[in-house]
Amino acid sequence: MLDICQSIKNKISSDSEVFYWPDPSYIDDIKHYATTSTTLPICSVEPATSADVATIMKIIRETQVPFAVKGGGHTLNPGFSSTTGIHIAMRRFDKVIYHANNQTVDVDSGLIWDDVYRALDPYNVSVVGGRVSGVGVAGFTLGGGYSWKSNQFGLAIDNVLGYELVSPNGTIVYVTNDSYSDIFFGLKGGFNNFGIVTNFKLRALPQTLVYGGLLIYVDIHKFDNILTALVKFQNNNKDPKAQLLPSFFRQAGLISFTLTVFYDAPTAPTGTFDEFMNISHFGVLKTRSFLSFIKAVPVFITDGMR
């Protein structure tokens, strides 16, 4: 397969590159959140343009070589974005463009949501995207995408207005509900089975300051109280702006319960989260920017490898 890598290298533009083991770029390209998702490809390709992605797809189609496409690399599943063949790393697709005139955002597929929120923060807008730091735009969106804003605006995939897509035969098309409507439907949960998405056009949403943070509970005798409060919240909460993300962690033999608390406004109505605040905990809830809230979740939850 080395000859196929060389063929790709010869035909792509100088903006794109091919890497081999043990080049540091190769190692970065194949790295995943979960070690189970990481395999060693024969080479890694970093395309920088849709035209180069199209060139790569044509060569892959002609040779029938195994391949995979990686956006953020947060998948837990082997083979979803890893391969022993040609590894396509989308990291050079890294632009975010906000269009104030029609309230849309063009987001490249090689980004993680941190990058998107950071770019949009000065405009006081956001999008329906990932809930924690380190999650990739492409896999999250094409897989459906449950967000802090999903109770208000639906899944991430429901807020995609258009896709720039390189089809399996190397044709570059722009997919909307009006053009290529069958592919538009198929991409809702279709991951990369219909081609490689290089750019998403997303609906922009007004973004105020938000209220929330991380609460950490270490008294195992209180865990039943927390779970009871969670069930009550799930059954009784009718406010779409209020969300919780509970997790158990075991580290150095100690078990802790973490609760990420979110309210999509500068303050939460009185009583919304009182049951959780009344149980002994570490951490505070406060008013902050949406970007600050996303970054407040400890990086060890999504950083590194599993």
Q: Check whether 22 has a pLDDT greater than 70.
A: yes
Q: Is the pLDDT of residue 59 over 80?
A: yes
Kindly tell me if the per-residue pLDDT of 266 is higher than 60: yes
Class of domain 2-89: alpha beta
Query: Could you read off the pLDDT of 190-206 as tens digits, one per residue?
Result: 988 999 999 999 999 99
Read off the pLDDT of residues 217-261 as tens digits, 9 standing for 90 and up.
999 999 999 999 999 999 999 999 999 999 998 877 889 999 999
- What is the CB neighbour count within 10 angstroms for residue 61? 14
Residue 302 has pLDDT above 70, yes or no: no
pLDDT at 301: 52
- Mean pLDDT of all residues in 52-70: 98
**Mean pLDDT, the chain, integer:** 94
pLDDT value at position 269?
98
Tokens of 10: 């010869």
Fold of 210-288: Alpha-Beta Plaits (3.30.70)
Give the residue range(s) of CATH 3.30.70 domains in the chain. Answer: 210-288
Report pLDDT for 121.
97
Tens of pLDDT, residues 112-168:
999 999 999 999 999 999 998 889 999 999 999 999 999 999 999 999 999 999 999
> Packing angle between helix 50-63 and helix 2-11, nearest 10 degrees?
150
Residues of the chain with CATH 3.30.43.10: 2-89
| pLDDT at res. 185 | 97
- Residues 62-119 have pLDDT tens digits of 999 999 999 999 888 888 899 999 999 999 999 999 999 999 999 999 999 999 999 9
State residue 187's pLDDT score: 96
Where in the chain are all domains bearing CATH 3.30.465.10?
Answer: 96-206
Pick the CATH number of 96-206 from 3.30.465.10, 3.30.1020.10, 3.40.50.720, 3.40.50.300: 3.30.465.10
